[in-house]
């Protein structure tokens, strides 16, 4: 017995010795874990700015309501009064949560924190606080501040910025690709407690400060982004495109994206709410709400809505790719701009007869420059035959098409092209005019920028710099990283050919802007069924442009996928919108227009007449050669005009053409809010549209190139039909050459 007890004693002492000396830290940690409580100190997510410092994404304070079941149980033990039902009923009514689920949470008596609802607003917070105070629930119901993402401009640049999930982690766009920088490091406050949850002495209290995420300045310019979004939305509406519209503007020298848009857009503050068009598809599906089919379709529609078409989809570029074929042909020495080609309306190669868009042909002996301007397929096919498959494939690779562009956004798609071995004569011929292979819009814009900027391939990007919470620069984009892939001479020649096509009688005339040198190329590509390879009958109308053509600053791509208009040519469904975009963006960037003699009507700056005697104001207006209306009636002289001018339109400092410009004055108590209803003049001859609108009392501004002759109609108007506007309001008309094809 002594030996037995001695042996047991030795074993116990050995175990105790091991626990006290060798396992001390492990057991100490277990004790500390049991008596300590940690509260996270949330770090704020970094902000997003546009290039001029406007905030694109920020944080705002919302509130989380939570209950402490341990304290509810303790209160019941002390007072004999169970407040579980009171809490569940009151909070479910205030916050709109399920009563039974909340009641179940009140019964989890071993826990200190059960979330009732996150993200409540100030009004709900005030009602909860009042409920707590009225029922003495301070130990059982709690509110804490939380930071949530907020986007001040709602839908602006939604496909670029992206959004965050419930855990404040980036899900799409820059929010996702730069999540590592934007996410801060949470802090922590740790204190000790007893079995009842009461705080103990301070021995184990610690505090780790939260570090906010870094902020990012993007290359996006809000003004340019708005112009882009207005035009993609307008194109979506006017063309009836069934597979969305997208566009992007890039600085050709740095690769900075100034604007990128896809229509329809969505609200970043409510990203799980479908846009109206997608909701209509869901509502018309016939599926019962909540059914698996309904939920599956909704998910598909949401992902499509979130998807950035410029980055994540690929398409056949069509005739816009002829710019690249031209660069390859001239840079490789295979052709010159003055080489002659024949077009009889088609070209036979590899046993196939491949048509030109002009069925009667462009004639014999046309120069390469003319062939490019007139978008002649046979000219391109004969050109690429001279280039050869090896050289063409090498240049195709140089232009970056066989790789991703490297843009700092997630989910970039990679193009599809023939293998070198599979690039036969027929494949080479169709590739010359942008068919039977696919590229992403951003990759194509990148290549076009190289044609514009002297031959340098740049990296498209949206992040200009990253600045940490302490103000130090973590990252700055290096715009000097670029390589020359064609000569500056080639770039100069191709740019001149394209610009002469726009200002002359080329197929891209609709992309022109009066007073500016614009290089542009339109394209219309077929859409083939992926399974059968058959033509679906749908088309993609697109246009690329850059300006000023002789010293390029920006390049633009505009794509209308599956337009439902009578004409589906890119020259009709895409080029006019590029004209509108450039007519606003170029002056904004500081480029002054230069007009050839006789091409631009003289203008006058509207003076400020408010506060003047009406008769004096009318006298001055008539002396300036303008038409004048006072309180809705035209004034031929100033002798019978009385009162003081209280309002005018157009406003002071506006630039208006001398003829047929009209100034509208309103005196004293006249109802200056009387409005006119804007009619539609789309499709009407430009001269007829001008008369209709001026007779109605509107001022006209013409964008694009609009000579006095030719088959010119109105392609777009800046103010939609049915809008109510004041007399004298400017309405911009975009002329359209209907004989333009590509």
Q: How would you write 17-74 as a 3-class SS string?
A: HHHHHHCHHHHHHHHHHHHEEEEEECCCCCCEECCCCCEEEEEEEEEEEEECHHHHHH
d(C-alpha 111, C-alpha 128), whole Å = 21
d(C-alpha 448, C-alpha 471), whole Å = 37
Q: Which of 123-127, 267-271, 430-434 has the lowest mean pLDDT?
A: 123-127
Mean local confidence (pLDDT), 132-145: 90
d(C-alpha 548, C-alpha 518), whole Å = 6
pLDDT surpassing 80 at residue 706? no
Superfamily classification of domain 39-218:
Penicillin-binding protein 2a (Domain 2) (3.90.1310.10)
CB 259 within 8 A of CB 221: yes
Q: Note if the bond before 548 is cis, omega within 30 degrees.
A: yes
Would the CA dihedral through 186, 192, 198, 202 be positive or negative? negative
Mean local confidence (pLDDT), 187-201: 61
Parallel, antiparallel or unpaired: strands 662-667 and 627-630: parallel
pLDDT tens per residue across span 85-110: 999 999 999 999 999 999 999 998 77
More confident residue, 609 or 649: 609
d(C-alpha 589, C-alpha 591), whole Å = 6
The pLDDT value given to residue 529:
85
What is the distance between the terminal CA atoms of the chain, rounded to a whole angstrom? Answer: 107
Q: What confidence category does residue 662 fall into, taking pLDDT thresholds of 50, 70 and 90? A: confident
Q: Which of 89-103, 126-140, 613-627, 663-677 has the lowest mean pLDDT?
A: 663-677
d(C-alpha 698, C-alpha 42), whole Å = 56
CB 683 within 8 A of CB 718: no
The pLDDT value given to residue 207:
65
The pLDDT value given to residue 195:
56
Q: What are the residue boundaries of the structural domains of the chain, listed by start?
A: 2-35, 39-218, 318-588, 603-737
Mean pLDDT of the chain: 89
Joined tokens for residue 303: 């992902």
More confident residue, 741 or 187: 187
Q: What confidence category does residue 33 fall into, taking pLDDT thresholds of 50, 70 and 90? A: low
C-alpha dihedral over 658, 661, 667, 671, to 10 degrees?
-160
d(C-alpha 716, C-alpha 735), whole Å = 7
More confident residue, 473 or 187: 473
Burial 463-484 (b: 16+ CB within 10 A, else e): bbbbbbbeeeeeeebeeeebee
- Rounded-to-5 percentages of helix, strand, coil across the chain: 35, 25, 40
d(C-alpha 462, C-alpha 410), whole Å = 12
Q: Which of 60-64, 193-197, 401-405 has the lowest mean pLDDT?
A: 193-197
More confident residue, 728 or 222: 222
pLDDT surpassing 60 at residue 184? yes
Closest to 715 in 3D by CA, of 605, 609, 565: 565
d(C-alpha 32, C-alpha 534), whole Å = 71
The pLDDT value given to residue 380:
97
pLDDT surpassing 90 at residue 411? yes
Parallel, antiparallel or unpaired: strands 346-349 and 187-192: unpaired
The pLDDT value given to residue 600:
60
Mean local confidence (pLDDT), 281-289: 93
More confident residue, 466 or 29: 466
pLDDT tens per residue across span 324-360: 999 999 999 999 999 999 999 999 998 899 999 899 9
The pLDDT value given to residue 515:
86
d(C-alpha 654, C-alpha 607), whole Å = 8
The pLDDT value given to residue 45:
94
pLDDT surpassing 90 at residue 185? no
Q: What confidence category does residue 23 fall into, taking pLDDT thresholds of 50, 70 and 90? A: confident
The pLDDT value given to residue 708:
45
Joined tokens for residue 168: 């404040």
Residue 189, strand partner residues: 39, 207
Would the CA dihedral through 358, 361, 363, 369 be positive or negative? positive
Burial 718-741 (b: 16+ CB within 10 A, else e): beeeeeebbbbbbbbbbbbbbebb
pLDDT surpassing 50 at residue 137? yes
For 358-419, the three-class secondary structure string (H helix, E strand, C coil) is: CCCCCEEEEEHHHHHHCCCHHHHHHHHHHHCHHHHHHHHHHCCCCCCCCCCCCCCCCCECCC
Class of domain 318-588: alpha beta
Q: Which of 13-22, 355-364, 562-571, 669-678 has the lowest mean pLDDT?
A: 669-678
DSSP string for 268-287:
TTSTTSPPHHHHHHHHTT-P
**39-218 and 318-588: identical CATH topology:** no
Q: What confidence category does residue 501 fall into, taking pLDDT thresholds of 50, 70 and 90? A: very high
Mean local confidence (pLDDT), 652-673: 73
With a CB cutoff of 8 Å and minimum separation 6, the contacts of 649 are 663, 664, 726, 727, 728, 729
Residue 215, strand partner residues: 467
d(C-alpha 465, C-alpha 45), whole Å = 16
Q: What confidence category does residue 308 fall into, taking pLDDT thresholds of 50, 70 and 90? A: very high
pLDDT tens per residue across span 196-239: 555 555 555 666 788 999 999 999 999 999 999 999 999 999 89
d(C-alpha 634, C-alpha 631), whole Å = 9
- Report the run of H or E that residue 222 belongs to, with start and end: helix 222-239
CB 414 within 8 A of CB 403: yes
**195: buried, middle or exposed (CB in 10 Å: 19+, 13-18, 0-12)?**
exposed
Closest to 633 in 3D by CA, of 597, 666, 669, 678: 666
d(C-alpha 614, C-alpha 153), whole Å = 41
d(C-alpha 445, C-alpha 255), whole Å = 10
Q: What confidence category does residue 687 fall into, taking pLDDT thresholds of 50, 70 and 90? A: confident
CB 318 within 8 A of CB 434: yes
Highest mean pLDDT: which range of 9-13, 182-186, 411-415, 628-632: 411-415
d(C-alpha 739, C-alpha 723), whole Å = 30
Mean local confidence (pLDDT), 615-631: 88
Mean local confidence (pLDDT), 616-636: 86
Which residue has tokens 């905030």? 55
Q: What confidence category does residue 119 fall into, taking pLDDT thresholds of 50, 70 and 90? A: confident
DSSP helix/strand/coil, 433: coil
Indicate the pTM of the whole model.
0.82
* Cα 501-324-369 angle, rounded to 5 deg: 35
pLDDT tens per residue across span 558-609: 999 999 988 899 999 999 999 999 999 999 999 988 866 555 656 778 899 9
């Amino acid at each position: 017995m002594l030996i037995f007890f001695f042996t047991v004693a030795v074993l116990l002492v050995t175990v105790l010795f091991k626990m006290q000396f060798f396992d001390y830290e492990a057991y100490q940690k277990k004790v500390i874990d049991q008596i300590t409580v940690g509260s996270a100190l949330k770090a704020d997510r970094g902000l997003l700015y546009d290039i001029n410092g406007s905030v694109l994404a920020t944080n705002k304070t919302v509130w989380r309501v939570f209950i402490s079941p341990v304290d509810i149980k303790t209160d019941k033990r002390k007072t004999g009064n169970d407040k579980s039902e009171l809490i569940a009923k009151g909070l479910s009514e205030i916050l709109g949560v399920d009563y039974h689920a909340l009641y179940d949470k009140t019964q989890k008596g071993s826990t200190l924190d059960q979330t009732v609802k996150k993200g409540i607003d100030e009004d709900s917070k005030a009602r909860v606080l009042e409920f707590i105070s009225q029922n003495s629930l301070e130990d059982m119901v709690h509110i804490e501040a939380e930071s949530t993402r907020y986007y001040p401009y709602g839908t602006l640049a939604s496909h670029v910025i992206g959004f965050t999930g419930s855990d404040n982690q980036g899900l799409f766009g820059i929010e996702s690709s730069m999540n590592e920088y934007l996410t801060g490091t949470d802090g922590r406050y740790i204190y000790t407690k007893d079995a009842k949850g009461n705080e103990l002495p301070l021995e184990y209290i610690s505090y780790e400060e939260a570090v906010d995420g870094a902020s990012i300045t993007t290359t996006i310019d809000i003004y340019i982004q708005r112009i882009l979004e207005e035009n993609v939305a307008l194109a979506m509406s006017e063309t009836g495109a069934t597979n969305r519209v997208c566009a992007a503007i890039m600085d050709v020298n740095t690769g900075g994206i100034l604007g990128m848009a896809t229509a329809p857009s969505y609200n970043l503050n409510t990203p799980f709410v479908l846009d109206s068009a997608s909701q209509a598809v869901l509502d018309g599906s016939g599926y019962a709400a909540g059914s698996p089919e309904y939920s599956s379709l909704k998910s598909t529609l949401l992902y499509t809505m979130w998807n950035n078409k410029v980055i994540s989809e690929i398409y056949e570029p069509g005739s816009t790719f002829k710019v690249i074929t031209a660069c390859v042909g001239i840079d490789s020495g295979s052709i010159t701009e003055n080489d002659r080609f024949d077009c009889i309306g088609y070209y036979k190669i590899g046993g196939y007869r491949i048509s030109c868009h002009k069925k009667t042909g462009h004639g014999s002996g046309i120069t390469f420059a003319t062939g490019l301007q007139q978008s002649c397929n046979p000219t391109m096919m004969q050109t690429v035959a001279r280039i050869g498959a090896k050289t063409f494939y090498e240049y195709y690779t140089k232009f970056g098409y066989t790789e991703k562009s490297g843009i700092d956004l997630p989910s970039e798609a990679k193009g599809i092209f023939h293998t070198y071995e599979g690039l036969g004569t027929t494949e080479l011929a169709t590739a010359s005019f942008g068919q039977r292979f696919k590229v992403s819009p951003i990759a194509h814009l990148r290549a076009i920028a190289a044609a514009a900027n002297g031959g340098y391939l740049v990296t498209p990007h949206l992040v200009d710099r990253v600045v940490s919470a302490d103000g130090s620069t973590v990252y700055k984009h290096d715009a000097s990283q670029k390589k020359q892939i064609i000569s500056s001479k080639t770039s100069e020649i191709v740019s001149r050919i394209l610009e002469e096509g726009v200002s002359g009688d080329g197929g891209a005339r609709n992309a022109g802007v009066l007073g500016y040198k614009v290089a542009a190329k339109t394209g219309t590509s077929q859409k083939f069924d992926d399974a059968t390879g058959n033509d679906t009958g749908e088309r993609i109308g697109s246009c690329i442009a850059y300006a000023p053509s002789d010293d390029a600053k920006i390049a633009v791509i505009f794509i209308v996928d599956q337009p439902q208009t009578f004409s589906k040519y890119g020259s009709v469904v895409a080029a006019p919108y590029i004209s509108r975009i450039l007519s606003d963006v170029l002056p904004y960037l500081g480029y002054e227009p230069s007009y050839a003699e006789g091409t631009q009507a003289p203008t006058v700056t509207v003076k400020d007449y408010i506060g003047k005697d009406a008769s004096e104001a009318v006298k001055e207006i008539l002396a300036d050669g303008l038409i004048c209306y006072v309180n809705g009636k035209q004034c031929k002289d100033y002798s019978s005009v009385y009162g003081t001018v209280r309002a005018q339109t157009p406003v002071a400092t506006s630039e208006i053409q001398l003829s047929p410009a009209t100034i509208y004055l309103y005196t004293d108590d006249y109802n200056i809010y009387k409005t006119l209803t804007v009619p539609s003049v789309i499709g009407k001859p430009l001269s007829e549209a001008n008369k209709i609108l001026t007779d109605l009392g509107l001022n006209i501004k013409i964008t694009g190139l609009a000579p006095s002759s030719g088959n010119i109609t109105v392609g777009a108007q800046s103010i939609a039909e049915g809008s109510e506007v004041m007399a004298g309001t400017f309405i911009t008309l975009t002329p359209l050459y209907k004989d333009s094809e590509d």
